[in-house]
Structure 1
Amino acid sequence: MTVSSLPEHGGRLERAIREWGIPRHQWLDLSTGLNPQSWPIPAIPDSVWQRLPEADDGLPEIIRDWCGAPEAAHCLPVAGSQAAIQTLPYLRPPCRVGIPVPGYREHGYWWQRAGHDLVPIPLEKIADNDDWLETLEGLVWINPNNPVGLTLPAEQLRGWHRRLQARGGFLVVDEAFVDPVQDSSIAPYVGSRGLVVLRSLGKFFGLAGIRAGAVLSDELTISALAERLGPWAMSGPARYIMSRALADRHWQRVTGQELASASARLHGLLAACGLGDSRGTRLFRYLPHPDARRIHRLLASRGVLVRLFDTPPALRFGLPGREPEWQRLAAALVECH
C-alpha cells in the first residue's frame, strides 16, 4: 500500500470560496462531521493566558475518568489527536502495520513516512474472518470508522489486541468520533502493553479549533510520546476548556440524544431525496453513490459543501445546525437530484 501525497481533509472552505466565487457567509459547510452545536465555552481567566501550562493540573485524571479508563492507564493530553498520529509511528521500529480502507488517511501517511510497511485492510474483509491479523505486527483501527461510520464492539478489538500483544505487536485505536455516552470505547481496557487509544475534543464537542485531545496507553508508551512531543504539548487555555467540557456530563447526555435525532433526520432526508441508504454515526452520514462527484459539484454550486470520496465514490454529510440550514440542504438536494 502506497500513500504518497498529503491527505485531503474536510473543512477546505477557503478553497471552495475561491473555486466557486461564493462569499464565506453564504456557505453551508457540512464537510467536517463536527457537532454544529458546540459545547459553550466559558470565560477564561486571565491567569490561564498568562502562565505556562502545568502538567499536574489534574487534566489527565479527568480524561481517564471521562473515558472510563483504569488506574493502570497513563494519559497524555495533546494538541488534538493529530499530534499523536504524526508521532506514534516513530516510537516503533519499521514493521508491517494494518490500516483500514477506507479510513482516515493521515494514519497511513505517517506510518509509511516513518518507514513502516502498510497493509490495507478492506472493511468488508473483516466480516469474513480475521486471519489477516496473523500477518501483522501492528494494527491501526478507527472506531467508529471515518468516513464510513462502521463501529466494532470493544470486545472484538480486545481480542485483536490480545493476539497482537502475544507476539509483541500493538493496536492503536482512533476514537475521534466515538460517542462518549455509548459503550463502544476500548479505553476501559487500556493499561497493558501494546494498546493505544486516541481521543479528541473536536468532534462530539464541536471544538476542533482549540486542538485538544488525549492519548491513553501504558506507562512506557506515554513516557516515550511525552519525550518526543516535549513540554507544553497542549496550551493552557485548551487544557482549561477540556477539563470543564469533559466534566459537563449533563450537556453530554442531552447532546447525545439531540445528535442521534439529527443523524436519523439526515438519514431520512437523503433517502427521501432519492439518494439511497446512508450509514454513519451520530455526527455524520456516509452515502455511497456512483454519481457522487456530480452531486458534490451541484451542491457546491449552491453553496453547500460536503466531503467527496473517490474510492469508492461516496459523499459524507455533516449535520446541519439551525432549522434554516436544514431547509437549505433539503432544497439543494431536491435541485441536485
Structure 2
Amino acid sequence: MLEHGGNLRAAQQRYGGTDWIDLSTGINPHGYPAPAPMPDAWRRLPEPDPSLVRAACDYYGAPQLLPVAGTQAAIQALPHLRAALAGPARVTVAAPSYAEHAHHWGRHGHVMREAAYDALDDAVAGSDVVVVVNPNNPTGATVAPAALLDWAGRLAARGGWLVVDEAFGDTARPLSVAGHAGRPGLVVLRSVGKFFGLAGLRLGFVGAETALLTALDDMLGPWAVSGPAQEIAVAALRDRGWQQATHTRLARDGARLHALLAAHGIDAHGTPLFHWWPEVRAEAFHEHMARRAIWVRLFPGGARGIRVGLPGTESEWRRIEQALKEWNDQ
C-alpha cells in the first residue's frame, strides 16, 4: 500500500506526543458541520438517493454523475474496467502527481508511463488513456479547460479516455470540465473530502458518458455509498451560504500560508488548501517539523519536496511560524 498523508498515528508512534498539528493532507481544517443523519440511515440498506445526484450535478455543473465511495474507489476500478472493455491500453499519467493513479494503471496489463505536465500534449498522440490531476496534487500545476477538452476529443476519436481528477477543483472552479462529462472519452473525478473537509465520509463522484457510468456502477456493485454519507453530502452540497463563506476563508488562509512560507525563504506554490515546494533537504525538514509535533508531507525521489496543508487555529499558526524560524536559524 502506498504512503499517504493523514497517517498521524504513525507519527505519534514514532515521535511520541499527543498535541500534533496535522498538515500532511490538503483537507479543509474547518470542515462542513455535518448534521446527524436520520435513524433510518443506520438501519436501512443504502439504496441510491436521487436527491444526492441532483444536488451533486447542480453543485458541480455536471450533466450526470455516479456517486462512489471516495474517488479512490474509482481510481482503483477504472484501470480494471478499461482492461475489461477494451483490453490493455497505452496509458500516460501526468507526473509528479497523486501516486495512486500510476500505481493502479500500472496493473491489469496496461503499458503505463509518466509524463511531465508540459509534455502531455505530445503524449496524447501515443496514448489510449491520459490521466491528469487538475489542479495537481502536490504541485498545484494546472491545465486550461480548452486543452483538456481538445485532448479528450483526440482520445475519444480512437476510443480513448481522458481521466481528469478534480479532487481539489472546488477552489478553482473556472478550471473544471465537469460540465462536459457526458461527452465521449472524458472521465471526471470529484471529491467532497477536500473542500468540504469530509474525508472520513468516503464520498466522491464520477462524471462520464452514460455507458461508462453504467459499466462502472456494475463493477462497483450495490450499496457503494453509505446512507449517512448520502444524507450529509446532500446537506453540504446544497448549503450555498457555507460554501461561499468557506471560499472566502480558504482564499484568505491560503494567501496567509503563502506569505508565511515566503517570509522564511520558501518559494511555495499550490492551491488555497495546500502549498508545495521542492526541497533539497526534504528529509531533514520533515524531521525538524516532526520533532515539534508538526506533521508535514514528505515527497522523496523524483518529486522531492514538501507539501503543507492549512493549520486550523491561531495557536497552530504560531507554532508553525516558530518552527520555520528555528529551521532558518540552524
Name the TM tier (shorter chain).
over 0.9
Q: Post-superposition shift, 1:312?
A: 3.1
Pairwise CA RMSD: 1.3
Residue 244 of structure 1 corresponds to which residue in structure 2?
Answer: 235
Distance 1:61 1:18, change over 3 A: same
Q: Distance in 2 between matches of 1:45 and 1:80?
A: 22
| SS of corresponding position for 1:197 | strand
Question: Which residue, out of 7, 20, 23, partners 1:12?
Answer: 7
Q: Distance in 2 between matches of 1:219 and 1:304?
A: 45
Question: Which residue, out of 87, 104, 128, partners 1:110?
Answer: 104
Q: Structure 2 stretches of 5 or more lacking a match?
A: none
Q: Distance in 2 between matches of 1:10 and 1:329?
A: 18
Q: Does 1:57 align with 2:34?
A: no
Question: Which residue, out of 134, 137, 150, partners 1:143?
Answer: 134
Q: Distance in 2 between matches of 1:268 and 1:202?
A: 26
Distance 1:234 1:303, change over 3 A: same
Q: Does 1:30 align with 2:33?
A: no
Q: Distance in 2 between matches of 1:117 and 1:136?
A: 9
Q: Does 1:83 align with 2:73?
A: yes
Q: Post-superposition shift, 1:54?
A: 2.1
Matches within 5 A, 1:124-203: 124-126=118-120, 130-179=121-170, 182-203=173-194
Q: Does 1:95 align with 2:89?
A: yes
Q: Is the 8 A contact 1:98 1:136 kept in 2?
A: yes
Q: Distance in 2 between matches of 1:250 and 1:140?
A: 33
Structure 1 vs Structure 2: percent identity of aligned residues?
A: 49
Residue 272 of structure 2 corresponds to which residue in structure 1?
Answer: 282
Q: Post-superposition shift, 1:124?
A: 4.0
Residue 222 of structure 1 corresponds to which residue in structure 2?
Answer: 213
Residue 307 of structure 1 corresponds to which residue in structure 2?
Answer: 297
Query: What amino acid is the match of 1:47?
Result: D
Q: Structure 1 stretches of 5 or more lacking a match?
A: 1-5
Q: Is the 8 A contact 1:181 1:253 kept in 2?
A: no
Residue 34 of structure 2 corresponds to which residue in structure 1?
Answer: 41
Q: Post-superposition shift, 1:181?
A: 6.5
Q: Post-superposition shift, 1:76?
A: 1.2
Q: Is the 8 A contact 2:27 2:273 kept in 1?
A: yes
Residue 295 of structure 1 corresponds to which residue in structure 2?
Answer: 285
Q: Distance in 2 between matches of 1:181 and 1:33?
A: 14
| SS of corresponding position for 1:113 | coil
Q: TM-score, normalised by structure 2?
A: 0.95
Residue 3 of structure 1 corresponds to which residue in structure 2?
Answer: none
Q: Is the 8 A contact 1:67 1:180 kept in 2?
A: no
Deviation readout 1:150-173 (Å, 9 max, x if unpaired): 122211110110111111111111
Q: TM-score, normalised by structure 1?
A: 0.93
Q: Distance in 2 between matches of 1:222 and 1:189?
A: 14
Q: Does 1:324 align with 2:315?
A: yes
Query: What amino acid is the match of 1:203?
Result: K
State the number of aligned residues: 323
Deviates more, 1:177-186 or 1:34-43: 177-186
Q: Is the 8 A contact 2:140 2:271 kept in 1?
A: yes
Q: Post-superposition shift, 1:57?
A: 3.4
Q: Is the 8 A contact 1:181 1:256 kept in 2?
A: no
Question: Which residue, out of 213, 224, 228, partners 2:204?
Answer: 213
